[in-house]
Amino acid sequence: MKLTCLLLLLFSIPGGLFSQTDFSQENATQILKVLSVEIGPRPMGSPAEHRALEFAVQKFMEYGCDTAYIMPMNRSSRSITTSGIAVGIKRGANKRMICIGGHIDSAGPEVPGADDDGSGASTVIELARVFGKRQMQSTLLFCCFGGEEQGLEGSRYFVNHFAGIDSVVLMLQTDMANGVGVIDIDPDTHGASAPQWLTRAAIEEFSKLGYSGLRYPTHFFSFNYATQSGSGSDHESFLHAGIPAIDFTTDVSKPIHTPRDNFENFDPRGLKRSGDVVQKLTERFDGGVPNRKTDQYWLLLIGSTPLFLPLWSLWLFAAASILLGIVALIDVRRRREPPDSPDRVRWSGIKMILFTLCIVACGWYSSDLVGFLKGVRHPTTADLPWFELLAAAALVFGFWLAGQLARVLPLSRCPYIFFKRAALWLTAILILSMFLGVKVVLYPAFALFFFSVAMLNRHWIPKMIFALIAPLGFVLLLFSEWFGLIVHSFAGMPPVNTAVAFGVNAGVIVFYSLFLLPVLYGFVGVARDTARLRTTGAFLASKKTLVGSLAVCIALCVFLVPRPAYNELWYRDVNVNQQVDLGKHSREISIESPEYLTGVRIHYGSSDTLIGTKTQTATLISGPEFDTTWLTVTQKQQTRQSGDTCFFDVELSLRSKLRPYTVNVIYSTGKDEIPGFTSAIFSTGERPAGKGEERVFRWYSFPDTNITIPVQFMVVGDDSVGEKIEVTYDTLASPMRCERELTSFILRTRYVEEHAYKKWL
């Protein structure tokens, strides 16, 4: 009896109770409050980011680091900045270093960045306290990176400029630690991954701590890291340098990169979980690491068991799938309908394209139906899982509709007609995927392999099972683990006109159809090849399918329409833009939003306007209180002419009454390059398609109020060099107030001026 009670007590203890370390959730929470509330939004280069870096350095010293300082970063790869990295060094018995990192900047001047990534920086600072009084074998390097949100700028700069980087044998990163939901391990970057020993250790230590929720998003990362522009974090900079590194990211479905990423919406329990894992890994490898090198593999995490597949095995599987497809194609061709058969039905492949577009359109537009009934553009924001279920039911309705079309536009009964197209289509996708890497190649190869196995099998039960397995890879890839983040990003797109919106929606439908079409070819081929499955099409076109799918769709619509599309966690963003054109002496005021502006009340001057129509944009007539004197632009130039060439020596001065948010100065020409262009300060060279070369000077964010740009260039013949100035502020030059519940208003004032430098007449 006593043993039974003890066992019941053990199993009733919440997960993580045995995971207690000396990492203090309370202390980390107080640090986070300072970063996200007292300091607030911290975009790269801002005075707020610098205060946060100073705070981190202060804490590193207070908690026992031997050395702490800010490594200044005056230039990023794309802009001039005053960012940096807060570095704390706790010296160990040897010079071998373990880096514990997180980025300290936030995504914009309205984004407090409590989750992304004040929580990661707070974890780093608290771990400095944990290890600060200990005698360690390895030297510990605590880093709070600036500029992560602008493209991993701080960590890249650190890896390239830190004098002891060759002594760093391990990097552990925390990027978001909000709550105890799903936590993703990320050992990847483009072209490299953490060594298997590190990934295994992370999974093992997490399991030993008794926590739950660990995930490796195999399918999202397979596609995400196939390109250089995917989402990532600061551990990537270390992996690119050949240093073993891994990142822990918690619950990307939260409203990061928005004003709602604040302290009030943050669940501090995640600080403890992430801190415990990083602490245990640090202790585990304090005495050394197995090796200092990166690896490459395809990882599938099944529970707490990792499955590592070398990349060569994926290439081998892709080759095997093509060979098997050829074998199956030859086998099915022997059973094909004679080409000269009088009962042969033509154009089946093209008809299937029409059916596929119909099916995908039903699924894609299902949420728009609810949005129309609710009077909103993005009804999925707060209830995405329910809308995914609605889309599935709408897809079934799409199959019924395709079945009705098939009665008018009948399909061939020959399985070869369909399997041939499935095999060729999947092979084409496979070959195109090679440009993205073998991890993406795996998905069309998987579909081709199992459809081929299904066609070669003679018994209808395994035939059906293999056919159902075949599209799973595509489903998991297109609706990956981070699908919610993708949907929320899509919903945040700026408003566009009707033609562009139609084009975007049509593009999405075509994109999904490209993947669904070979799957449908494969399914129809399998069904046509088996007497037991030939009635499948009839069932999909039956009244039962119609009634069932419509019943589910209607029930979900009835459930979803009265539910709020936005809540205390998810707000609507409205951009309030004011613009002054100094050259044209014009002023403009516009309001725009990805969502309808219905219900927005605008107090401007003596007027009070309530927007009552379903519009995404609105304009106001500027009043006399519009301050056009925030920016003064002067150009001092010296010129000399030699034959057909005019030499310009220009000193551009920008004088501002308050710190601007961003500054962009662009010099451009219609030619391939600007002749003789030089400058004493940093600029980037760009060649937009069909526009010639651009030389761009960027400041991000909140640079000094006085900026001087010296440039020299030449103008030949009748050519000219254009100068475009864009200075943006994060406040309004003409006072106005906007109101609506559950809405964040993003305020911007932009001053612009354009000038052309031409040869003397």
**Nearest partner of 722 among 654, 661, 656, 650, judged by Cα:** 650
Residue 617 sits in the same domain as residue 516: no
Q: Look up residue 225 and give its amino acid.
A: Y
What mean pLDDT is predicted for residues 133-142? 96
What is the pairing mode between strands 662-668 and 720-729?
A: antiparallel
Distance CA 79, CA 150 (A): 10
Residues pairing with 665 in the sheet: 697, 725
Distance CA 752, CA 754 (A): 7
Contact 170, 243 (CB under 8 A): yes
Residue 592: pLDDT over 90: yes
Residue 333 sits in the same domain as residue 395: yes
pLDDT category of residue 1 using cuts at 50, 70 and 90:
very low
The pLDDT tens digits for 421-448 are 999 999 999 999 999 999 999 999 999 9
Distance CA 340, CA 356 (A): 28
Exposed, middle or buried by CB within 10 Å (0-12, 13-18, 19+), for 526? buried
Domain boundary among 525, 560, 595: 560
Distance CA 282, CA 130 (A): 11
The pLDDT tens digits for 210-239 are 999 999 999 999 999 998 778 889 999 999
The pLDDT tens digits for 665-695 are 999 987 778 999 999 999 988 877 666 789 9
Distance CA 220, CA 481 (A): 6
Q: Cβ atoms within 10 A of the Cβ of 442, count?
A: 27
Contact 203, 306 (CB under 8 A): yes
What mean pLDDT is predicted for residues 399-411? 93
Distance CA 392, CA 552 (A): 10
Domain boundary among 560, 588, 605: 560
Position 624 scores a pLDDT of 84
What mean pLDDT is predicted for residues 407-416? 91
How many CA atoms, within 13 angstroms, populate the side-chain half-sphere of residue 279?
A: 24
Residue 360 sits in the same domain as residue 408: yes
pLDDT category of residue 457 using cuts at 50, 70 and 90:
very high
Chain centroid to Cα 5, Å, comes to 48
What mean pLDDT is predicted for residues 520-547? 88
Q: Look up residue 55 and give its amino acid.
A: F
Q: How many domains does the chain have?
A: 3
Q: Quick check: is 71 in a domain?
A: yes
Residue 731 sits in the same domain as residue 759: yes
What is the pairing mode between strands 97-103 and 678-679?
A: unpaired
Contact 216, 306 (CB under 8 A): yes
Q: Quick check: is 30 in a domain?
A: no
Contact 42, 122 (CB under 8 A): no
Q: Cβ atoms within 10 A of the Cβ of 1, count?
A: 5
Distance CA 557, CA 562 (A): 9
The pLDDT tens digits for 574-591 are 999 999 999 999 999 999
pLDDT category of residue 9 using cuts at 50, 70 and 90:
very low
pLDDT category of residue 19 using cuts at 50, 70 and 90:
low
Q: When comparing pLDDT for 589 and 337, which is higher?
A: 589
- DSSP one-letter code for 67: E
Q: Looking at the chain, how many residues does it have?
A: 761
Contact 45, 108 (CB under 8 A): no
Q: Quick check: is 184 in a domain?
A: yes
Instruction: Tell me the three state secondary structure of residue 751.
Output: strand
Position 501 scores a pLDDT of 87
Residue 596 sits in the same domain as residue 488: no
Contact 143, 99 (CB under 8 A): yes
**Tokens (6 digits) for 301:** 């995490």
Residue 17: pLDDT over 50: no
Residue 318 sits in the same domain as residue 245: no
Domain boundary among 287, 303, 338: 287
Q: When comparing pLDDT for 622 and 153, which is higher?
A: 153
| 340 Cβ contact partners less than 8 Å away, ≥ 6 residues apart | none
Residue 540 sits in the same domain as residue 591: no
Position 185 scores a pLDDT of 98
Q: Quick check: is 631 in a domain?
A: yes
Distance CA 241, CA 293 (A): 9
Distance CA 350, CA 342 (A): 20
Distance CA 79, CA 696 (A): 9
Q: Locate tokens 């802009």: which residue?
A: 79
DSSP letters for 629-653: -SEEEEEEEEEEEETTEEEEEEEEE
Position 5 scores a pLDDT of 43
Residues pairing with 85 in the sheet: 71, 145
**Nearest partner of 247 among 346, 103, 358, judged by Cα:** 103
Residue 524 sits in the same domain as residue 584: no
Mean pLDDT (the chain, rounded): 93
What mean pLDDT is predicted for residues 376-404? 95
Position 231 scores a pLDDT of 86
Residue 732: pLDDT over 90: yes
End-to-end, the C-alpha distance of the chain in Å comes to: 104
Residue 70 sits in the same domain as residue 168: yes
Write out the residue range of the structural domain in which residue 721 sits.
Answer: 572-761
DSSP letters for 415-432: HHHHHHHHHHHHHHHHHH
Q: Quick check: is 751 in a domain?
A: yes
Residues pairing with 174 in the sheet: 248
Query: What residue spans of 482-630 are helical by DSSP H?
Result: 483-491, 498-528, 536-540, 543-560
Position 18 scores a pLDDT of 46
Distance CA 399, CA 549 (A): 10
Residues pairing with 756 in the sheet: 722
620-659 burial, b at 16+ Cβ within 10 Å, e below that, comes to: bebeeebeeebbebeeeeeeeeeeeebebebebebebeee
Residue 184: pLDDT over 80: yes
Instruction: Tell me the longest C-alpha to C-alpha distance in the chain.
Output: 105
Residue 254 sits in the same domain as residue 340: no
Q: Quick check: is 10 in a domain?
A: no
Position 689 scores a pLDDT of 61
What is the pairing mode between strands 245-250 and 183-186?
A: antiparallel
Residue 655 sits in the same domain as residue 506: no
Residue 113 sits in the same domain as residue 188: yes
**Nearest partner of 603 among 744, 735, 732, judged by Cα:** 735
Q: Quick check: is 274 in a domain?
A: yes
Position 725 scores a pLDDT of 97
Read off the CATH number of the domain in which 278 is found: 3.40.630.10
Contact 429, 216 (CB under 8 A): no
DSSP letters for 542-568: SHHHHHHHHHHHHHHHHHHTTS-S--S
Q: Quick check: is 197 in a domain?
A: yes
What mean pLDDT is predicted for residues 117-133? 97
pLDDT above 70 covers what percent of the chain?
96
**Nearest partner of 522 among 416, 442, 441, judged by Cα:** 416
Distance CA 381, CA 488 (A): 7
The pLDDT tens digits for 601-622 are 999 988 899 999 999 999 998 8
pLDDT category of residue 492 using cuts at 50, 70 and 90:
confident
